[in-house]
Amino acid sequence: MSQIEHIITGRKKDLGGFQVARVLPYAKRRRVGPFVFFDEMGPAVFAPGKGVDVRPHPHIGLSTVTYLFEGEMDHADTLGVQQTIYPGEVNLMTAGRGIAHSERTGAKARAAGHPLHGIQVWIALPREDEEIAPDFAHHKADELPEWDEGGARMRLILGTGYGRTSPVKVRGSMVYIHTEAPAGSAFELPAGHGELAAYVVSGRVETAGEPVSAGCMAVFAPGERAVIRAQEDSRIMVLGGADIGERHIDWNFVSSRKERIEQAKADWRASIAGGWDNTPFSMVVGEDEYIPLPGDPDPGQG
């Protein structure tokens, strides 16, 4: 039996000068541990005056984690948080029972032109935490544990791995690591996690006798601790954790219950119709635009 269950190639979509590769969810593999969504953003270089403009939109039942290799991005949400994220830092937004946020290029970066490259993941909350109050946390790069493992440089973004623990507070068991692996380096996957995957951002690796190229994710059989060998200088994201059980995903909503997602849809529509005044969702601080539910009328803002 192979140590590898799947090798998933990211499905690329051009958003107008900005490419996103969707890796999870995948038809044959909906999640890895609590990770139910994995997008690589870029790499892209925006000309002066251009940038990212993701209008306010809602989430429930998950935490979003944004992690950049290059560039910067501004986050704003209905808690009143306004935070710029830079490379190596962690933006963790916990939606719980409901939050809305926007993601945009800041004025200074937009005026100058800038690169952007990073990963955004969604982590499903444990069932008992799906309806907790929304929250936001930001951690600087120098707060995260860094060390060498098998000749590779590792930074622990979330959870536990190799006897270390990230200071970022998460709910549930998981691991999420940024690895810079020079050609010839080799490291074993971390112990203590039921489901694990490795995504090759750049370079090329070999694991369990299989080559894995840039833009591909190797998903390992439960309990396997395969060795990852860098065939050339490579950037790798290691992720996983305990199987969190079935989750339903519809647009930006994640829940263990389909009826809860239908309620979230109704709440977003009611908030739009009610002008954000004493409605289930409020408007993001400093914003006056929004993204409607797929198929609903779009005011053409943004």
Q: Identify whether 270 is part of a domain.
A: no
* pLDDT in the model for residue 16: 67
Mean residue pLDDT across the chain: 95
Q: Identify whether 79 is part of a domain.
A: yes
**What whole-number percentage of the chain has pLDDT above 90?**
92
Q: Identify whether 14 is part of a domain.
A: yes
Q: Identify whether 295 is part of a domain.
A: no
Q: How many domains does the chain have?
A: 1
pLDDT bucket at 1, cuts 50 / 70 / 90:
low
Q: Identify whether 249 is part of a domain.
A: no
Identify which has the larger pLDDT, 74 or 301: 74
Which of 12, 8, 13, 52 has its CA nearest to residue 31? Answer: 8
Quote the CA–CA distance of 147 and 196 in Å, as a whole number. Answer: 20
What CATH number does residue 49 fall under?
2.60.120.10
* pLDDT in the model for residue 2: 77
* Mean pLDDT, residues 8-18: 84
* Mean pLDDT, residues 248-269: 97
Q: Identify whether 211 is part of a domain.
A: yes
Residue 240: pLDDT over 50: yes
Residue 223: pLDDT over 60: yes
Residue 5 to residues 1, 104, 210, 228: CA-CA distances in angstroms? 9, 37, 11, 15
For 75-100, the pLDDT digits (tens) are 999 999 999 999 999 999 999 999 99
Residue 47: pLDDT over 90: yes
DSSP annotation of 159 reads: E
The H-assigned helical ranges of 174-298 are: 258-273
Q: Identify whether 281 is part of a domain.
A: no
Q: How wide is the angle at C-alpha 127 spanned by C-alphas 92 and 55, nearest 5°?
A: 40
Q: Identify whether 256 is part of a domain.
A: no
Q: Which domain holds residue 78?
A: 4-241
